[in-house]
Amino acid sequence: MRTPLFGALLALPSVAGAYEVNERLELTTALRGLLQYGDYSDALNVDGGPLDSATRGAGILDLMADYRPTHRDALHAWVRLAAGNALNEIGGVALEPYGDPLEDELQDINGSGRDYLLEAWYRRSFQLAEEASLSLTAGIIDAGEYLGENEFADESDAQFMNEALETSNMDMLSYNPGAILELGLKDWSFNLVYTQSENEQGSRFNWVSGQAAYRVDTDLGEGNYRFFAFTSDSAFLNAKGTRDDERFQGMGLSFDQEIGKIFGGFVRVIWANDNAVVDFNRLWSGGVNISGRLWGREQDNAGLGYAFLEGPRGSELRRADVAEAYVRFQLTRQLDVSLDLQYQDNKLRPEDESGDDDDAGHPAGFGNPSAWVAGLRINLIF
């Protein structure tokens, strides 16, 4: 049985204030609460029964430590505890209404046998010239944060909640052993990322991605323009659920640009090859960020976003449309509250169009599930 929001909050350990211990060590504590209500149509729950509506919550405790023994060295650790999964684990629609990890995803993370510990890495930096730097990071990393990140659509804890808008939609790359090489050259930055992960079928594979990013700062405002590419090794399963010589690979772009002091826009596009066991291999998304300056509260903001996704052959998912709007109110330096509304519409393939897997299609009468999801999010950060 899922824990309601307030029960989830009570189930978490008491929050202790965090602070800068000294010039080298900084501790951060974040207590987060989430409540979501979903109104579903033409949808099935995880047990295969009809799903009409549901209300679920989650409570999250984040504990982070950053230690800098020298100006060149940094160590980081992030532990997350959670009670409840909000609407992520009840079924109904393909895209999770909350993209960051909740209770179930914090158990046996990516098949590693590890619980709660999301990141633990060491970074060494080198100053090559006045405007050139190099850094190497190794440990348990979030490789997805180096693939198509975006200033306006990058984390469910603070921005868009739905996973289609909050990341590059490749969560399998997050919180695994790996290494990152980063090169900074004035307004340009480049990274090369290696990680090893496990897909939904339990197959472990190696992954390499690279990204080039250009930062601009003009009278219009700041902007970031990122181009990236990625590839797995041949251990990644194909659309039939077997191994062959074909790799899962693709490319994409992620742009964000301020447009004056109030508005900002973003675009993210990802293309990947068709022969792989993944839910989606095409993503187009975009939207607008609105500063609270518009209503006289500079620290507030709102977001409007839309994402269109397509599934590869062999997937029961033909396409998905996701629209989301949120407004976030910064009440104090430590406390913010957000109101969120999502709409998701899925188009599923009939069984006779789902490749060689006879079970890949959806039962008759449940071919196009959709949902409205309303959410409340609270962050208290020390």
Q: Which pLDDT score is estimated for 312?
A: 83
Name the amino acid, one letter, at 241.
G
Name the amino acid, one letter, at 155.
E
Q: Which pLDDT score is estimated for 380?
A: 96
Summary mean pLDDT of the chain: 87
Ordered by where they begin, the domains of the chain are 5-381 (2.40.160.10)
pTM of the model: 0.87
Which pLDDT band holds residue 193 (cuts at 50, 70, 90)? very high
Q: How far apart are CA 228 and CA 255, in angstroms?
A: 11
Q: Which pLDDT score is estimated for 251?
A: 93
Number of H helices, E strands in the chain: 2, 16
200 compared with 360, residue with greater pLDDT = 200
Q: Which pLDDT score is estimated for 70?
A: 95
Rounded mean pLDDT, 161-171: 79
Q: Which pLDDT score is estimated for 9?
A: 36
* Strand 249-259 relative to strand 282-291, pairing: unpaired
Rounded mean pLDDT, 277-297: 92
Q: How far apart are CA 191 and CA 208, in angstroms?
A: 11
Judged against a pLDDT cut of 50, whether residue 363 lies above it is answered with no
Q: How far apart are CA 382 and CA 366, in angstroms?
A: 46
Judged against a pLDDT cut of 70, whether residue 353 lies above it is answered with no
How far apart, in Å, are the Cα atoms of 341 and each of 3, 10, 58, 376?
Answer: 22, 26, 17, 9
pLDDT in tens, 84-99: 999 999 999 999 999 9
pLDDT in tens, 111-155: 888 999 999 999 999 999 989 999 999 999 998 888 889 999 998
Q: Which pLDDT score is estimated for 2?
A: 38
Nearest to 123 by CA among 141, 107, 108, 138: 138
Judged against a pLDDT cut of 80, whether residue 229 lies above it is answered with yes
Highest mean pLDDT, choosing among 14-18, 111-115, 163-167, 303-307: 303-307
Token pair recorded at residue 192? 């090369």
How far apart, in Å, are the Cα atoms of 182 and each of 77, 129, 193?
Answer: 19, 15, 9
Question: Percent of the chain scored above 90 by pLDDT?
Answer: 67
Nearest to 266 by CA among 214, 303, 300: 303
Q: How far apart are CA 156 and CA 375, in angstroms?
A: 12
